Amino acid sequence: MGNTADTVIPAPASQTAGDGAFDLGRATAIAATADAAPVGEYLASLLRTATGLYLPVGRDGNVVLTIEPGHPEGGYDLAVAPDGIRLAANDAAGLFLGVQTLRQLLPPSSADSPASLVPPEIAATTISDHPRFAYRGAMLDVARHFFGVDEVKRYIDDIALLKLNVLHLHLTDDQGWRLEIEGWPRLTQHGGSTQVGGAGGGFYTQDDFREIVAYATSRFITIVPEIDLPGHTNAALSSYPELTCDGHAPKLYEGIEVGFSSLCIDNAHTYEFVADVLGQVAALTPGPWIHIGGDEALSTPDADYLRFIERASGIAAATGKTVIGWHEMGRSPDLPAGTVGEYWSFTTPEGDAAEVSRRFVDRGGRLILAPADVAYLDMKYDESSALGLVWAKGPTSIEDAYGWDPAEVIPGVGDAQLLGVEAPLWTETIVTMTDIESMAFPRIAAIAELAWSPRRTRDFTEFASRLAAFGAHLAALGIAFHRAPGVPWR
Ligand code: TNX
């Protein structure tokens, strides 16, 4: 028996059940025009793994992928009927998103547990679907613990399943500098040589980074690179003492405190460094955004911070990218037009977080919401979680992660002012790929639904029943996830 459409996460904008079912075992081929062929090949490879069926991709077939105008903006139309499947969108990205829905409509299966034991049937259904927000992000901190190219690729595939389309990489922090910068070899040779707890460390060569970007592109995911400035820079300061005010290199740092490091604000080397780094990062990254951090600069005096942000954001904008900064950057009186703020305070804003965030909007930018009390994937699930932190009103249950709406966080900021939503995974306590997946899944599914599905009254019991179906897919795919109580896992 195939799953019905109402098991999909994120919930489609509209869906109607039909009569009968399509038996994929009877499919002859995937039909795709040249522009749709890469997505056709991607679908075919997924289906080969999941069902053992070899579906050639060609001009004719009864699983038809079409690129043509007239479909939902950013989305797709999918019709499953007894005689075939039709998936259509305005572009290949839309088709790719529709394929993610199709995967969830199939019975959960994999090469390890092939569906050939059961007919791979899909119940007839019609879905017309589009995203609520253009930016649907996950963030991975590769600085506190380093994760290699293959692990990042795997996370890209993991998040694609949920129609997320941005991976923000937190590339630098006190504990490590993870991206090779030409002309500054010690950043990675020395600054990338360790991580939290000491063992390991590592960095991406520029070729490694290009490989990550290319893989993300093949999954219609945009990489947002973050170089965190002017705080969170101990690894850089330790590598190049000329970036400090006293010329004295601090030791490499393997703890988990924040807010103790700062670039030297009135030092000419600082701006050569910022321009060189941001210029190379921008050149390596095809996406429209560059993130310059700006958070928790607790040891940078206020006036220095404002002067630094004004200059550094100008340097970042001069690369041609749209600048993103954590919401503290809104305190700066002068930001490049359209600078995007990333909000990390709580669903009930604390201190001046709402006010400084609104300033991005006042100056023509938009906001990405990553409220720490609901969207931070590094919070413990419950008191018994071995991994994770609790500072952001943790523990954070799946119900907490699901129980908010992006338009209700910052007064005066609704859908029109929001670029999107992001789920960050900071990695102070996260060491392995299994750690990553089991902290992200299933809470990231809640955040993905808030980012994609239309605003509506949300019922956790209903979501939990879809989550149980999604969990079966995760299990078949070998993706680790936390079987939190309150969900009828299969
Ligand atoms: C806060 S929120 C941070 C990170 C930490 C994280 C741990 C923000 C922009 N910065 O430096 O890793 O908390 O949860």
Quick check: CB of 426 below 6 Å from ligand 1?
yes
Mean pLDDT in residue range 250-263: 98
Determine the Cα–Cα distance for residues 195 and 394; give it in Å rounded to an integer.
24
**What is the pLDDT at residue 397?**
98
Atom of ligand 1 nearest to the CA of 144: 12
HSE, CB side, 13 Å, CA atoms: give it for residue 422: 30
Quick check: CB of 376 below 6 Å from ligand 1?
yes
Least confident stretch, 31-45, 118-132, 295-309, 439-453 = 118-132
**What is the pLDDT at residue 457?**
85
Which of 41, 242, 296, 399 is catalytic? The answer is: 296
**What is the pLDDT at residue 2?**
40
Determine the Cα–Cα distance for residues 447 and 164; give it in Å rounded to an integer.
10
Determine the Cα–Cα distance for residues 64 and 85; give it in Å rounded to an integer.
6
User: Which residue's CA is the closest to the ligand 1 atom numbered 13?
Assistant: 426
Asked if residue 432 has pLDDT above 50, the reply is yes
The predicted-structure confidence for 359-385, as pLDDT tens digits, reads as follows 999 999 999 999 999 999 999 999 999
User: Which residue's CA is the closest to the ligand 1 atom numbered 7?
Assistant: 426
Quick check: CB of 360 below 6 Å from ligand 1?
no
Q: Which pLDDT band, with edges at 50, 70 and 90, does 48 fall under? A: confident
Least confident stretch, 42-51, 156-165, 464-473 = 42-51
**What is the pLDDT at residue 386?**
97
**What is the pLDDT at residue 49?**
83
Atom of ligand 1 nearest to the CA of 326: 9
DSSP code at position 194: -
- Which helix H or strand E contains 185, and what residues bound it? none
Site to substitute for ligand 1 among 295, 298, 328, 369, most atoms within 8 A of C-beta? 295
Atom of ligand 1 nearest to the CA of 379: 14
Q: How far is the CA of 93 from the centre of ligand 1 (A)?
A: 31
Asked if residue 272 has pLDDT above 90, the reply is yes
User: Which residue's CA is the closest to the ligand 1 atom numbered 4?
Assistant: 426
The predicted-structure confidence for 81-105, as pLDDT tens digits, reads as follows 999 999 999 999 999 999 999 999 9
Q: What is the DSSP string of 327-377?
A: GGGGG-S---TTPEEEE-S-SS--TTHHHHHHHHHHTT--EEE--HHHH-T
Q: Which of 221, 27, 219 is nearest to 106 (CA)?
A: 27
The predicted-structure confidence for 435-444, as pLDDT tens digits, reads as follows 999 999 999 9
Asked if residue 281 has pLDDT above 50, the reply is yes
Q: Which pLDDT band, with edges at 50, 70 and 90, does 111 fall under? A: low
Mean pLDDT of the chain: 95
Quick check: CB of 326 below 6 Å from ligand 1?
yes
Quick check: CB of 296 below 6 Å from ligand 1?
yes
**What is the pLDDT at residue 488?**
96
15 exposure class (CB count in 10 Å sphere: 0-12, 13-18, 19+): middle
Integer angstrom CA distances of residue 215 from 94, 155, 174, 282, 464: 17, 11, 28, 17, 32
Asked if residue 487 has pLDDT above 80, the reply is yes
296 catalytic residue (yes or no): yes
Determine the Cα–Cα distance for residues 398 and 386; give it in Å rounded to an integer.
16
**What is the pLDDT at residue 81?**
97
Atom of ligand 1 nearest to the CA of 295: 9
Mean pLDDT in residue range 183-194: 98
Backbone angles phi, psi at 451, to 5 degrees: -80, -30
Asked if residue 28 has pLDDT above 90, the reply is no
Quick check: CB of 180 below 6 Å from ligand 1?
no
Mean pLDDT in residue range 208-219: 98
Token reading at 109: 């299966």
User: Which residue's CA is the closest to the ligand 1 atom numbered 12?
Assistant: 426
**What is the pLDDT at residue 1?**
37
Quick check: CB of 343 below 6 Å from ligand 1?
no
**What is the pLDDT at residue 5?**
46
* pTM for this model (two decimals): 0.97
Token look-up 């069926």 returns 53
Q: Which pLDDT band, with edges at 50, 70 and 90, does 108 fall under? A: confident
Atom of ligand 1 nearest to the CA of 426: 12
User: Which residue's CA is the closest to the ligand 1 atom numbered 9?
Assistant: 295
Determine the Cα–Cα distance for residues 440 and 481; give it in Å rounded to an integer.
7
Q: Which pLDDT band, with edges at 50, 70 and 90, does 3 fall under? A: very low
Q: How far is the CA of 245 from the centre of ligand 1 (A)?
A: 25
Q: Which pLDDT band, with edges at 50, 70 and 90, does 54 fall under? A: confident
Q: What angle, rounded to 10 degrees, do the helices at 149-160 and 206-218 form?
A: 20
Q: How far is the CA of 222 from the centre of ligand 1 (A)?
A: 22
Q: What is the β-pairing status of strands 121-129 and 340-343?
A: unpaired
Mean pLDDT in residue range 221-249: 98
Asked if residue 271 has pLDDT above 80, the reply is yes
Q: How far is the CA of 151 from the centre of ligand 1 (A)?
A: 21
Site to substitute for ligand 1 among 140, 296, 376, 428, most atoms within 8 A of C-beta? 296
Q: How far is the CA of 111 from the centre of ligand 1 (A)?
A: 38
Asked if residue 117 has pLDDT above 70, the reply is no
Asked if residue 59 has pLDDT above 80, the reply is yes
**What is the pLDDT at residue 199?**
86
Mean pLDDT in residue range 226-235: 98
The predicted-structure confidence for 62-83, as pLDDT tens digits, reads as follows 999 999 999 999 999 999 999 9
Determine the Cα–Cα distance for residues 288 and 99; give it in Å rounded to an integer.
25
